[in-house]
Homo-oligomer: A and B are copies of this chain.
Amino acid sequence: MARYDFASDNTAPAAPEAIQAILAANTGFASGYGTDKVSAQAADLVRALVDADAEVRFVASGTAANAVSLAALARPFEAVLAHRHAHICTDETGAPGFFGQGVGLIGLPGASGKIDPAALAAPLAAPDLSHRQSPAALSVTNATEYGTVYTAAELAALTAPVKAKGYGVHLDGARLANAAAAGFDLKAIPGLGVDILVVGGTKAGMPPTEAVVIFDRAVARRFDARLKQAGQLPSKGRFYAAPFIGMLSDGALVRHAAHANAMARKLAAGMPFRVVHPVEANAVFVEMDDARLSALHAAGWFVYRFLDGSVRFMCSWATTEAAVDEILDAVRRLA
């Protein structure tokens, strides 16, 4: 039997709080394109989450949310600075370039998915040259692709020099809930100079939905038209907003993420292979050769080799302790 429990955090079903909120919202007629009361209520909850009077929109796709955001911050002949293994650089089929008509990506190094602050210096100091795409924005991801979590201070060390240049900042929060559960203070985000934040719903245990939070009012101008043209202004907006109500009303978002993080710690603790990145969120990366990975696949467990060559195990709100024990059993048999 194929087991996708640890393949990704998007293999999980939706959490009951999200589903219940959809059922509750699915009543009567509602005005379209995000102008309904469900969307308004959800937006209030997102604003409260980050403690800021920002514009909030709910969209279907994290890839599109990121790409549309970057297109709002950088023009085609400019570039976005990001960790070289950031999702926008490696896993979105060039969506930033598609939505941004060729907008460039400048991949930066840094251990375990965190951008090395020293790596920012050169691109920020480089003179504008006409034959290359100069930076116009920074994209950071928290929690990172490698399951590590920036502190607010660490992010500030990245965003401060970027804002000093007048450039924009995008925060990819596909796993923001996991970062929050690991201690990252969401209310610090506005103070970091973030212009656009994407709060991930999908990986946090919702049906597909992401909240786009626009802190900069100039960037927000005509954003609905921007979204509509990009196929990200849903007519039945309540279906993307309602899950956030379910997950934010009583803290389920962070509570579920805390569970996912705990499952990752439990998994890491039992691993017979070397764990190669700090386990701060919901991922565990281990050193494993091809033969063992194939054997694990053959045993029915789908996990994947990642960009850095290690093998990734993802936990989610739906990961059970029993499943952790089961996969650890399977892994130990390989060792």
Contact = CB atoms under 8 A, between A and B. Distances in A.
A31 B4 contact: yes
A290 to B, nearest CB: 15
A184 interface: no
A225 B132 CA distance: 7
A122 B5 CA distance: 30
How would you classify the secondary structure of chain A's contact residues: helix, strand, loop or mixed? loop
Interface string A21-40: 01100111111110000000
Contact of A207 (B68, B128, B239): B239
A226 interface: yes
Most chain B CB within a 10 A radius of its CB, from A100, A129, A231, A235: A231
Interface in A297-333: 302, 318
Interface residues of A, number: 78
Interface stretch (A71-79, A137-145, A253-261, A281-289): A71-79
Given A102-B95, A102-B101, A28 B7 contact: no
A32 B7 contact: yes
A30 B32 CA distance: 31
Contacts of A239: 14, 207-208
Contacts of A12: 29
A236 B222 CA distance: 29
B92 A228 contact: yes
A29 B14 contact: no
A130 B33 contact: yes
Nearest to A128: B222
B31 A229 contact: no
Given A11-B31, A93-B133, A131-B92, A98 B76 contact: yes
A196 interface: no
B229 A77 contact: yes
A32 B11 contact: yes
